[in-house]
Amino acid sequence: MQRLILLRHGKADSASGGGGDFARGLTARGVRESALIGRVLAEAGLEPDLALVSTAARAMQTWEAARAAFPNARMAPARELYHASPEVLADTVARLDGAPASVMIVGHNPGLHEYALALGGAKGARELAVGFPTAAAAVFDALPASGFQLARFLTPREYEGLGASGRRSD
């Protein structure tokens, strides 16, 4: 694997209507921001070959909103990613021996943020210190020997008001 992309699910409803936390879906803003980050990643050439997606409703809906930007990506649902700890995320990545060049994990905080901080080194600690907001993506490039380094950290707020081309639409 040459690239790992961690994508936090979009903004979720505060209640699920009886299905509990696992069934909480995205708000309209969550859908919009997830689609936006998908387009930004694709336009930057940061498309996943494989997306491992938590089976929680909000993570699956995040993938559905973003996947239009990744027509060639394969998706694999992964129940173990629901509120996964950094250790579970690291184990998931370690088990991807022979994985495609670019893998995306769509998951949840706090585990996703903690895992990103562990992977990111000093640069990651600075850029990720502000948190890991909904629909944000941390892109890591593999290092030649082992491990990863943070290449980009993208948040929807950075791209609000931008068209698909990355230019202001006002």
Q: Which domain holds residue 147?
A: 3-159
Asked, for residue 36, whether it belongs to a domain, the answer is yes
Number of domains the chain contains: 1
Asked if residue 165 belongs to a domain, the reply is: no
Q: What is the pLDDT of residue 162?
A: 59
Instruction: Give the distance from CA 94 to its chain's centroid.
Output: 18
Report how far Cα 107 is from the mean position of its chain's Cα atoms: 7
* Residue 133 within any structural domain of the chain: yes
167 pLDDT above the threshold of 50: no
97 or 135: which carries more pLDDT confidence? 135
Residue 115 lies in a domain: yes
Give residue-wise pLDDT tens across range 45-81: 999 999 999 999 999 999 999 999 999 999 999 999 9
The answer to whether residues 56 and 77 touch, using CB atoms and an 8 Å cutoff, is: no
| Residue listed under structure tokens 């491992």 | 52
C-alpha angle with apex 118: 51 to 62, nearest 5 degrees?
Answer: 30
Residue 166 lies in a domain: no
Cα–Cα dist 160/84, whole Å: 29
Token reading at 143: 């290092």
Residue 10 lies in a domain: yes
pLDDT at site 14: 86
Per the domain annotation, does 168 fall within a domain? no
pLDDT in tens, 131-157: 999 999 999 999 888 789 999 999 999
Task: Determine the pLDDT at residue 87.
Answer: 97
- Residues 30-47: tens digit of each pLDDT: 999 999 999 999 999 999
33 located within any domain: yes
CATH code where residue 73 lies? 3.40.50.1240
The pTM (predicted TM-score) of the whole model is 0.91
Q: Comparing 153 with 125, which gets the higher pLDDT?
A: 153
Among 9-23, 85-99, 124-138, which stretch is predicted with the lowest mean pLDDT?
9-23
Closest CA to 99 of 48, 145, 38: 48
> If you average pLDDT over every residue of the chain, what do you get?
90
Please say if the pLDDT value at position 165 is more than 50: no
